[in-house]
Amino acid sequence: MSSTAQGIPGLPDLTHPIELVQFGTQALKASLLLVFLLIALGIAIALVSFSLRRYEPESVIFIGEWAIRYSQLLRGLQHLILVLILLVPGFFLCSTLSNRYHYWEQARVAQVAESVAGDKLEQFAPQVRYSIQEPYTYTTQVNGKIVKVNDTREINRFLTLAGSQIQVKLDQSVDVPGRSSVYRVEYTADYKVVNQLQDVNNFFFEAPPPNGYSLLSSYKVERDGTRLQQTNPGDYGFPFRLQPGEQTSFLVTYQAQGGPRWVYSADGQLLSKFRLTAIANFAPADFASGIVPNEIKVDGHSTRFTWIFDDNVSVKNPFGVFTNTEPIRHTGIIPRLLLLAPAIFLWWILLLYLSLPMSFKNIAIAASIFFACLLTLTYLARLMNAQLAWTLISLILLLLTWGLGASRSTSLAAIICTIAGAVLPIFGLLVPFTGLTLSLAGLLSVVWLAVRHWYGWYSLHPEDQRLQVQRNVRD
């Protein structure tokens, strides 16, 4: 993975040791504060009881009323406390998963970008160089006088190639540590040179190897079947003589490794009678830089790209072949879903509370199932389409939710609440029509509650309510 890939800034991630220590420290401080509040409450009750010990009837009445009201308050808040206890770890779980998924998406994008715009093998068109003497004039000072001097200097000029017939075979190696892929290149090029000058017959044929190679082998330059020798290491300029009006040809061959792209650069030259055939023995391959080939032929896992320029064409950008990758779409959807998951959980739990009697055990099990489904979705979405993954997970969620009811009517109520409060909201955050899907989920929720409580079209029978309450008490 790329070292530049980072998680979402400022989002809690419990996989980071520093943040885990900070969270533990804050939790310990909150626990100590709660203990001190309970101790202070006990001391206050003891002081009030001690001050009223002389008035025993009043003391008993005061303590009794306070205990009754306090127990009623606790009974009213115990479910809320349970939901909050489940919601806090669920939030940290979702934030950690969101950060991890965002990190994975960034690393994947960086890897694809590296394969498309990273290192490359770039072959420059050879140049035919010659030198001429050019007169020029300059002024100098001699004995205090300005003197005009006429002199000559040597300048380099370049001869346009008369023809280029190039064939390159590309193979790809993907099992290379630290690299997305490596190209193995077999290059063969036949260049024609015609001396159109009248007074120049000494030239240099400069054919450098490609830039960006990691290994170069079997590099040869031949002129009319005769191999030319390098005079200096690293010098790829070969002197030759060619009389005015004569023609000669050069054959350049080599094998190289590098990548993960191969491009040919005209380096500002005009291409005439040019033909480049690139054979990519891997799939999927595509042409680079937007220079559309004249012919593309696919044969199994091999693709042949052919560029043909007949008469004086200027190509500004390098063109060639690269490994085509599937575009990465819909990034950031799963992290956004995970950040909103606690709110969806509260939505679902509220529907359940308003639709059927719920016990502590049922709430805890339902929360565990909900966050377990999100955990499964997070990692399953890396292997398959997220919408399809959630469809499969939703079937399991609905099947498990059926067990919330003690009868068929209560089970159907739980299923309707799960569809409106969990399945549709999460599915809405995965599809492009998020607002429409969430609106339908909200409309379904309020219609269900209105039908359930106002119109009595789907009221639980007293027997169903009694069975559900008995089950909750038994749980």
Q: Which residue has the higher pLDDT, 31 or 149?
A: 149
Surface-to-core class of residue 457, CB atoms within 10 Å of its CB (0-12 exposed, 13-18 middle, 19+ buried): exposed
**Reported confidence tier of residue 194, pLDDT bands at 50, 70, 90:** very high
Of 23-32, 269-278, 323-332, highest mean pLDDT: 269-278
CA quadruple 31, 33, 39, 45: dihedral positive or negative?
Answer: negative
Residue finishing a domain among 117, 149, 177: 117
Residue 331, CB half-sphere, CA atoms under 13 Å: how many? 13
Both 101 and 234 in a single domain? Answer: no
Both 339 and 284 in a single domain? Answer: no
3-state secondary structure labels for all residues of 206-268? ECCCCECEEEEEEEEEEECCEECCCCCCCCCEEEEECCCCCEEEEEEEEEEEECCEEEEECCC
**Residue 190, pLDDT score:** 95
Both 141 and 272 in a single domain? Answer: yes
Indicate the number of domains in the chain.
3
Q: Which of 10, 102, 15 is nearest to 381 (CA)?
A: 102
Both 128 and 240 in a single domain? Answer: yes
Both 169 and 225 in a single domain? Answer: yes
Q: Which residue has the higher pLDDT, 108 or 371?
A: 371
Both 151 and 193 in a single domain? Answer: yes
pLDDT digits 0-9 by tens, 364-373: 888 999 999 9
Cα distance between residue 260 and residue 119, in whole Å: 6
Both 54 and 180 in a single domain? Answer: no
**Residue 338, pLDDT score:** 87
**Residue 223, pLDDT score:** 93
Angle (deg, nearest 10), helices 386-401 and 408-418: 160
Which amino acid is present at 219? Y
Q: What's phi and psi for 359, nearest 5 deg? A: -100, 170
**Reported confidence tier of residue 270, pLDDT bands at 50, 70, 90:** confident
Residue finishing a domain among 82, 117, 152: 117
**Residue 2, pLDDT score:** 42
Both 246 and 131 in a single domain? Answer: yes
Q: Is the confidence at residue 464, as pLDDT, over 60? A: no
Looking at residues 324-344, what average pLDDT do you find? 79
> DSSP characters for 132-150?
EEEEEEEEEEETTEEEEEE
pLDDT digits 0-9 by tens, 242-264: 999 899 999 999 999 987 888 99
**Residue 77, pLDDT score:** 61
- Coil, strand or helix at 327: coil
- Coil, strand or helix at 201: coil
Both 149 and 260 in a single domain? Answer: yes
Q: Is the confidence at residue 466, as pLDDT, over 80? A: no
**Residue 124, pLDDT score:** 93
Residue finishing a domain among 323, 354, 376: 323
Beta-bridged to residue 132, according to DSSP, are 155
Task: Take residue 470 and report the two structure tokens written for it.
Answer: 């008995």
**Residue 409, pLDDT score:** 81
Cα–Cα distance list, 87 to 31, 341, 440 (Å): 17, 10, 25
Q: Is there a contact between 386 and 393 (Cβ–Cβ < 8 Å)?
A: no
Question: In terms of DSSP bridges, do strands 237-241 and 163-173 run parallel, antiparallel, or are they unpaired?
Answer: unpaired
Looking at residues 41-54, what average pLDDT do you find? 62
Cα distance between residue 269 and residue 121, in whole Å: 19
Q: What is the CATH number of the domain that holds 201?
A: 2.60.40
Both 248 and 294 in a single domain? Answer: yes
Cα distance between residue 53 and residue 55, in whole Å: 5
**Residue 27, pLDDT score:** 63
Both 366 and 445 in a single domain? Answer: yes
| Domain region containing 95 | 1-117
Both 356 and 298 in a single domain? Answer: no
**Reported confidence tier of residue 71, pLDDT bands at 50, 70, 90:** low
- Among 6-10, 21-25, 105-109, 201-205, the minimum mean pLDDT is found in 6-10
